[in-house]
Amino acid sequence: MATRAPAGWSDSAVERAIGTLLRVGLLVATCVVVAGAVIYLSRHGSELPNYRIFRGEPAQLRSIGGIVEMAEDWFGRGFIQLGLLLLLATPVARVAFSIVAFIEQRDALYVGVTVLVLAVLLYSIVGGYAS
């Protein structure tokens, strides 16, 4: 006997919510990156690049904590990196939301598959960083 989904959690409502989540995530990430670009260009836009010396990414921009600190201190590169992190976090949030929606719909198969997808996503993010 199939159980019916609650009225607020129909498939079309879940699809609309996921679409909104993805659009908002993209919009917020874009605004943060653009703000970072404006800050960066206002401070460094007139500098001439020196291509003879390679300078890698600063150590602060190689960790989430460092990126957040640089953004809090209004460094343009910190904002740009934060926006890129938000952009990467958007599909992860979509998968996490899908788990909640499938739990509410009492769809055990999709909950299991989506948990597996989230585990693979998180492993690829955290596991790749730890190695």
pTM of the model: 0.81
pLDDT in tens, 64-121: 999 999 999 999 999 999 999 999 999 999 999 999 999 998 889 999 999 999 999 9
- Per-domain residue ranges for the chain? 10-46+58-130
- What per-residue confidence (pLDDT) applies to 1? 45
Q: How many CA atoms does the CB half-sphere of 64 hold within 13 Å?
A: 7
Per the structure block, which two tokens stand in for 117? Answer: 């997808």
In 10 A of CB 113, how many CB atoms? Answer: 14
Q: CA nearest 93: which of 109, 72, 110, 117?
A: 117
- What per-residue confidence (pLDDT) applies to 11? 84
- What per-residue confidence (pLDDT) applies to 51? 86
Per the structure block, which two tokens stand in for 25? Answer: 């995530």
Q: How far apart are CA 80 and CA 119, in angstroms?
A: 27
